[in-house]
Amino acid sequence: MSKELSIIELERLADFYILDVIDIIDDKVEFVKPASPIHGLHPEDVSVNDFVAIAQFGKIIKNYQKIKNLTQKI
């Protein structure tokens, strides 16, 4: 049984993994699962607040990358 995610949940996942929502919902995007966690954290070692902070930082990085791409086009 699969659960459909809301756009808010998709945006949170995208922020956490520093992706765009389209990368998550596009069937043609291929992901390579790393042998160990990229961020070096294990779920049992971090709190919900830690995950929220990581997602917020990911959002900052994505916004920076978007701004950088836009300024390079000018």
pTM value is 0.61
- Residue indicated by tokens 């808010």: 8
Instruction: Please state, in angstroms and rounded to a whole number, the distance separating the CA atoms of residues 65 and 56.
Output: 14
How confident is the model over 3-57, as pLDDT tens digits?
888 889 888 888 888 888 888 888 776 766 656 555 666 777 778 888 888 889 9
The encoded tokens of residue 61 equal 């990085």
pLDDT at 36: 57
Question: Which residue ranges make up each domain of the chain?
Answer: 7-73
| Helix/strand/coil (H/E/C) assignment for every residue in 5-30 | CCHHHHHHHHHHCCCCHHHHHCCCCC
pLDDT band at residue 60 under the 50/70/90 scheme: very high
Q: Which amino acid is at 46?
A: V
